């Protein structure tokens, strides 16, 4: 069951990455480079620094296992 779930998650990740890669040029031509970078890069971080975000994910990833 864990192996199947891992395979499904990896497959979905590859499909989403492929879709994002294929759609980037179309979005860039439609919106321009500035707005496409904003669209693909605007992840809500609630005014946290990069170090705080890294610590959040590294500390939680060990406790989930």
Q: Where are the domains of the chain?
A: 2-64
pLDDT given at position 65: 46
* Contact of 31 with 42, CB cutoff 8 Å: no
* Contact of 39 with 28, CB cutoff 8 Å: no
pLDDT given at position 59: 67
Per 3-state DSSP, the chain is made up of helix, strand and coil in percentages (nearest 5) of: 85, 0, 15
Q: What angle do CA 29, 33, 14 make, to 5 degrees?
A: 80
* Contact of 10 with 1, CB cutoff 8 Å: no
pLDDT given at position 6: 94
Chunk the chain into consecutive blocks of 10 residues (it has 65) and report each block's average pLDDT, rounded to whole numbers: 92 94 88 83 78 77 49
The pTM assigned to this predicted structure is: 0.50
């Amino acid at each position: 069951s864990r192996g199947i779930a891992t395979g499904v998650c990896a497959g979905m990740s590859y499909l989403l990455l492929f879709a994002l890669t294929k759609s980037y040029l179309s979005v860039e031509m439609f919106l321009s480079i500035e707005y496409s970078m904003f669209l693909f890069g605007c992840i809500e971080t609630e005014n946290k620094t990069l170090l705080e975000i890294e610590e959040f994910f590294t500390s939680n990833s060990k406790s989930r296992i």
